[in-house]
Amino acid sequence: MTAFPYTLEVNDLPRLGLIVLRVDETIEQDFRRLFSPDIARMYVTRVPSGAELTPDSIAEMERTLPAAASLLPCEHPLDVVGYACTSGTTLIGADKVRELVMGVAQTRAVTNPLTAALNQCHSLGLERVGIVSPYIASIAEPIRAAFEAAGILVPDTLSFGEEVEAKVARIAPSSIAAAARVLANRSKLDAVFLSCTNLRTLDVLAPLAEELGLPVLSSNQCLAAHMAALAKRG
């Protein structure tokens, strides 16, 4: 057999890694829309996660996170890796997530939806943020505490009280928008944050912001923006 000659090409687009929960059906679809192939090269790995999101299932995810991160391409360093779980980051800790990922993945930077959301809130000068989430109380309250620990007051929250991830991915965007309206109308807020990477929020962000006259942020939108900013710093 004669080997056919070939030419190697170098692609200079940003290289993004994304660690997605096995049960998450939303963020990968959103990121494919936010990062078209002519903007960045995106590589996705999945981390085992329970069908129900609880403190115990998140603790188990911490154990398996390094194995998932190690499956990202390693021939050339990635510009940034995003761990795509708001509640997981809150309970595991952003510093611990970064340590676990950096220990096995070839990347310059690591971020997550919580860090990204706090970064965007500070950049916009937001002081009072209401949170809409799908979570049960044991998951929702630590997220509220994390915002307030970062100096952002959370005067009000609304939750769908759902812990089954397959149902979270199917909550209608109209229901998410309705919850945001209630929150904005009953409390004095600078912005609304739609928390959870599995919620289908992407198409309601701009219309809601225009309707409410407030910034409306989401886990997926904040994470994408932070990853894009970090990639540009390379």
Q: Give the pair of three-digit tokens for residue 162.
A: 């759902």
Q: pLDDT digit string (tens) for 181-212?
A: 999 999 999 999 999 999 999 999 999 999 99
209 Cα distance to chain centroid? 19
User: Structure pTM?
Assistant: 0.95
Fold of 15-112+222-232: Rossmann fold (3.40.50)
Q: Which residues contact 202 (CB under 8 A, 6 or more apart)?
A: 30, 33, 34, 218, 220, 221
Ranges for all domains in the chain classified under CATH 3.40.50.12500: 15-112+222-232
| Residue-wise pLDDT tens digits, 8-51 | 988 889 999 999 999 999 999 999 999 999 999 999 999 998 77
Start-end of CATH 3.40.50.1860 domains in the chain: 115-219
In order, the DSSP letters of 110-156 are EE-HHHHHHHHHHHTT--BEEEEE---HHHHHHHHHHHHHTT-B---
CATH 3.40.50.300, domain 115-219, yes or no: no
Tell me the C-alpha to C-alpha distance, in Å, between residue 71 and each of 65, 78, 104, 111, 195.
10, 12, 9, 17, 27
